[in-house]
């Protein structure tokens, strides 16, 4: 029978990759805590309508990238393509929105988009997302950006990662419900006699989602847009003020940024702030994180009652690409405290010792296939064991185990009843 392989655009995170993920996730958790963001976990699939209404029917995500299926009851379900819509559903459904004036949430999990796979773009990928729900203060937008940068800078410093030193923060305002139509109209008028020079996708966007033409990567579209009207000139005074305050807050926080007036992002729920953190290390899929404000999304699901919010998501696979040449691989090397070498005659006694050590929080492994001593030492080396403990018939007879320091090769005899305490202090002496 033919071998079954993983689905195109998905990844296996094997031992070392999983350890890398665990390290990064710990940094997410610690740094989120410093900003008082708390984790919640929500389902991987939701009713399709949540994403249709939340993200917008005309977006690429909803119109062509969702993994949608009918369940056994003929209800349309979709694997989440992003986290914000589900988080919004959860805070409303569980009344968190009424219980707390401000909800500061983070989440880590897999997302699904049927995009054409390439480096940094997968069909199953992982995000670290943060959402701050309940305030329209532009300082919050700056804080969301700051937390992303705090994490990236921490990783850069801890992992000696020069690739993380050259990140670019781009910000823009996309206006609000009341002023967005003004800009859309100005853009429509500007493009009216230039439509034919746009790529086929943008010709379609001209009809359905005109704002998205702005961030088309196609060279001919970029040329057409060179003298396009600027969003900032068409947004209302409230949006201008909000954007100016965001810029001011970022300056106060010593955060460098570039205003990219063409940054509009691929989800329809954004109002006012839109931002992306880009790395030239990533090639065409250059955004490691992106986000913005979504002051009207919650009203869509909350009986029309609007609650302002802002958030972002960071692509974990993209982060791992940037971290490829960093110290992360070294940190993520497997490690084991003790490898126990056993023989047929000592396996029974040895197993009780192993259990005792494990109960004392020492990580221990052995080769229960009881291969030759040479093979067992090889396994100890492979598992990066700090110590080898040899338990043979001599050791049992003398009530003393032989402990070998795998780094120095020095051996010593230790009586069985002192093993746990001696090993524990040896392992924690630094
Ligand atoms: P997004 O820009 O669609 O925003 O995704 C955020 C990040 O997820 C991207 O910058 C990228 O690093 C990563 N990403 C997106 N698609 C893929 C893919 N196919 N393969 C690998 N990585 C990918 C959102 O998802 C919004 N929910 C962010 C947000 C939260 N806005 C407000 N709150």
Runs of H (alpha helix) within 283-371: 297-301, 316-322, 328-331, 347-359
Count, in order, helices (H) and strands (E) of the chain.
17, 16
Structural tokens at position 173: 């305002």
Percent of the chain with pLDDT over 90: 91
Site to probe by mutation for ligand 1, drawn from 54, 56, 82 as the one with most ligand atoms within 8 Å of Cβ, is 82
Mean pLDDT of the chain: 95
CA of 384 to the centre of ligand 1 (A): 37
Joined together, the tokens standing for residue 275 give 């931002």
Tell me what pLDDT residue 104 has.
Answer: 98
Give the per-residue pLDDT at 304: 87
pLDDT value, residue 165 = 87
Ligand 1: nearest atom to the Cα of 294: 32
Q: How many CA atoms lie within 13 A of 238 on its CB side?
A: 10
- State the distance between the two ends of the chain, measured CA to CA, in whole angstroms: 53
**Nearest CA residue ID for atom 11, ligand 1:** 315
Q: What's the pLDDT at 264?
A: 93
pLDDT digits (tens, 9 = 90+) for 86-122: 999 999 999 999 999 999 999 999 999 999 999 999 9
Distance from Cα 264 to the centre of ligand 1, integer Å: 13
Average pLDDT over residues 131-144: 98
**pLDDT tens profile 212-227:** 999 888 899 999 999 9
Residues near ligand 1 (Cβ within 6 A)? 82-84, 113, 115, 120-122, 125, 127, 129, 131, 266-267, 287-292, 294, 311-313, 315, 317-318
Element (H, E) at 416: none
Sorted by sequence, the CB contacts under 8 Å of residue 329 that are 6+ apart come out as 16, 20
pTM over 0.85? The answer is yes
Measured in Å, residue 103 CA sits from the centre of ligand 1 at 21
pLDDT at 430 over 80: no
Q: Span 171-200, mean pLDDT? A: 94
Taking CA 373 as the corner, what is the angle to CA 367 and CA 379, rounded to the nearest 5 degrees?
45
pLDDT band at 34 (very low <50, low <70, confident <90, very high): very high
- The answer to whether 273 and 141 have CB atoms below 8 angstroms apart is yes
The predicted model gives 313-341 an average pLDDT of: 95
Q: Ligand 1 center to residue 120 CA distance, Å?
A: 11
CA of residue 127 to ligand 1 center, whole Å: 7
DSSP 102-141: SEEEEEEEEEE--PPPBTTB-SEEEEEEEEEES---HHHH
Length of the chain: 430
Average pLDDT of the residues in 266-280: 95
Q: For residue 174, what are the contacts with CB-CB under 8 A and spacing of at least 6?
A: 180, 211, 231, 264, 265, 270, 271, 272, 273, 274, 292
Q: What is the spatial distance between Cα 235 and Cα 264, in angstroms, rounded to a whole number? A: 14
Atom nearest to 61 CA in ligand 1: 3
Q: How many CB atoms lie within 10 A of CB 116?
A: 9
């Amino acid at each position: 029978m033919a071998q079954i392989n993983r689905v195109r655009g998905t990844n296996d995170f094997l031992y070392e990759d999983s350890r890398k993920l665990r390290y990064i996730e710990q940094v997410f958790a610690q740094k989120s805590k410093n900003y008082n963001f708390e984790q919640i976990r929500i389902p991987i699939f939701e009713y399709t309508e949540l994403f249709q209404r939340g993200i917008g029917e005309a977006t690429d995500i909803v119109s062509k990238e969702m993994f949608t299926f009918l369940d056994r009851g003929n209800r349309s379900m979709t694997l989440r393509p992003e986290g914000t819509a589900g988080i919004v559903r959860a805070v409303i459904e569980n009344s968190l929105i009424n219980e707390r004036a401000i909800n500061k949430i983070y989440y880590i999990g897999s997302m699904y988009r049927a995009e054409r796979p390439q480096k940094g773009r997968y069909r199953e990928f992982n995000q670290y997302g943060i959402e701050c729900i309940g305030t329209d203060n532009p300082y919050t937008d700056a804080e969301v950006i700051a937390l992303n940068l705090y994490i990236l800078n921490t990783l850069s410093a801890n992992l000696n990662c020069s690739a993380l030193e050259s990140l670019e923060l781009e910000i823009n305002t996309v206006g609000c419900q009341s002023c967005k139509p003004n800009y859309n109209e100005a853009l429509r008028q500007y493009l009216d006699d230039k439509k034919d020079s746009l790529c086929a996708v943008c010709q379609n966007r001209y009809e359905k989602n005109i704002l998205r033409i702005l961030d088309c990567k196609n060279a001919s579209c970029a040329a057409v847009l060179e003298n396009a009207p600027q969003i900032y000139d068409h947004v209302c005074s409230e949006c201008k003020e909000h954007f100016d305050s965001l810029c001011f807050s970022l300056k106060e926080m010593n955060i460098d940024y570039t205003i990219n007036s063409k940054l509009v992002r691929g989800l329809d729920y954004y109002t006012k702030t839109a931002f992306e953190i880009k790395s030239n290390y990533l090639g065409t899929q250059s955004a490691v994180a992106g986000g913005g404000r979504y002051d009207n999304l919650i009203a869509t699901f909350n009986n029309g009652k609007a609650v302002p919010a802002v958030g972002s998501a960071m692509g974990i696979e993209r982060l791992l690409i940037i971290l490829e040449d960093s110290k992360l691989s070294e940190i993520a090397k497997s490690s084991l405290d003790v490898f126990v070498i056993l023989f047929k005659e000592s396996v029974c006694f040895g197993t009780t010792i192993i259990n005792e050590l494990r109960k004392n929080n020492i990580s221990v492994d052995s080769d229960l296939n009881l291969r030759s001593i040479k093979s067992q030492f090889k396994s100890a080396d492979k598992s990066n064991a700090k110590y080898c403990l040899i338990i043979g018939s001599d050791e049992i007879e003398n009530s003393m185990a032989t402990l070998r320091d795998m780094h120095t090769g020095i051996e010593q005899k230790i009586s069985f009843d002192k093993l746990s305490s001696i090993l524990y202090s040896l392992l924690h002496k630094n």
